[in-house]
Amino acid sequence: AFTTTEKASQHLEGGAKKVVITAPSADAPTYVVGVNLDKYNASDTVVSNASCTTNCLAPLAKVIHDNFEIVEGLMTTVHATTATQKTVDGPSGKQWRDGRGASQNIIPASTGAAKAVTKVIPELKGKLTGMAFRVPVPNVSVVDLTVRLGKAASMDDIKSKVKEASESSLKGIIGYTEEQIVSSDLNGDTRSCI
């Protein structure tokens, strides 16, 4: 995997002008649109855009933290099948359950998204943890964020701020709906978080 600056730089040696790592990176500068893209340094040749889960979680965490202060939180993602999963049960070099068939199981998995969020929102360092469940759907995942807040807020207060952000500063990044949608209704949607 090319998730470090050193490994990803091999693409530069092959002729690429810039490299965007589409996974969390231990050492590459990390940016999430709507969260910290204003800190982007155009001279960086290797950057990370974190993960799809981080791109969903970070804008939502930013809205909640900026308005209500996240003291601590747990993020759970119910994640669509990925290309690294097995189609049927087979061997796995990491954990036994990683070798289980993707289309037949709900598979508990680790996620680096909670940690990756702290690279783009440093104030949340040590405040978030996370877990994942891989489920047999081809596209669209869910992030459930449960937080303890530093400022009192009702559910309506939080929903109002998320809706406000979806119509202003984070329009096109965060969406807001109270319609009774399901995951496949969001196929093709380009927003990071709805």
Tokens for 160, please give them.
């109002």
Q: What is the DSSP letter of 43?
A: T
Q: Which of 112, 132, 134 is nearest to 54 (CA)?
A: 112
Q: Between vectors from CA 55 to CA 49 and to CA 61, what angle results, nearest 5°?
A: 125
Greatest alpha-carbon span in the chain: 53
Tell me if residue 33 falls in helix, strand or coil. Answer: coil
User: What are the residue numbers of the active site?
Assistant: 52
